[in-house]
Structure 1
Amino acid sequence: MRFNESFQEFPMMETERLVLRELQPDDAEDYYTYFSDQEVTRFWGYDCPKDIKTVASTFVRFRNAFKRKEMIVWGIAFKETNQICGTCILGSFVRGSMANVSYNLSAEQWNKGIMIEALGAILPFGFHQLGLHRIQAMAMPENKASIRLLEKLDFKKEGLLRAYAFGSLFTDTLIYALLAEECN
């Protein structure tokens, strides 16, 4: 399967503990709860959602962006409960050969290997199913946890973008990348 064909149906995936799936209206409250935590959004660069209604409209934007082949937003849900605890986003596609990856996770789930497990499924999907050549990620230098995660996933630091637009902020931003031939 290649890039265009991959957007006909939402690509659900399973790992040992998780289901990576499309966000549903029933997920809005859980998303709002964890994404309203200032610690979760500290390095995100955007404001927290105002209310659950805002979250619901965000989910509609995610769904429409998928239909336009602009991004895929996976809700990270536990197999046991189907409750979401985070998201992974693959988007900003360039000619079907490159993409950005970003992610967020409920503070309750930090340091439990959830994100490395989720990205461990999403990165091979990007390279093998979408046919991407490069996946890149950006992190603020102060975001040590995100930097450790990217390095564990074999992303290579490529440089520092000075006073780069990170959401609504202008901040120094590190750029990391993983190439298809580097992904196991």
Structure 2
Amino acid sequence: MGAHANAIQTYIRAKDENRPHLLAGAFAHDASLQMKVETENISFPPASKGIEAITRVLVRDFGRAYENIYTFCLDNYPRDGEAEFRCRWLVGMSDKETKSIRVGCGHYDWQFGSSELIQNLTITIKTMLILSSDHHRQVMNWLSHLPYPWCPAEAAAAAMPPLSELSEIHQFLMQNCA
């Protein structure tokens, strides 16, 4: 695994584990973040510029609202030397206040700078489902047993609990599967 994959893994670890200090090892100081939110079940500022603003949005604010966060990249590692990388993602988490479960999916579009760090990230949130806290054990058991953070979409779909509420996520996972 190369520098680009390490930067992505560092971002995921910082966000999922609420470790803001790690983002300096993932993003360039002057990096930018764009959010394309295609659901009403979660909100983010549409754009952030600079490592401090990105850290506030992706780690500090996010970590205040959510816990038990698992984020997965559903495609192969990026190859070093490529300036751009796109991958699908899956995320699951619980809401600290309501105890509801959220499961979402979308795309990451990464651009890397000459330092091998992330220069620009566009996060597209296609779906964000809200499930009752009654599903906490099933969903967290599923997510906690998947390969982390690089997980084949087929593996995530195959291990998914049989909850009708997750059908939209299952369809997303099965896109482009042979």
Instruction: Say whether the fold is shared (TM-score over 0.5).
Output: no
Shorter chain as normaliser: what TM range? Answer: 0.3 to 0.5
If the length of structure 1 is used for normalisation, what is the TM-score? 0.36
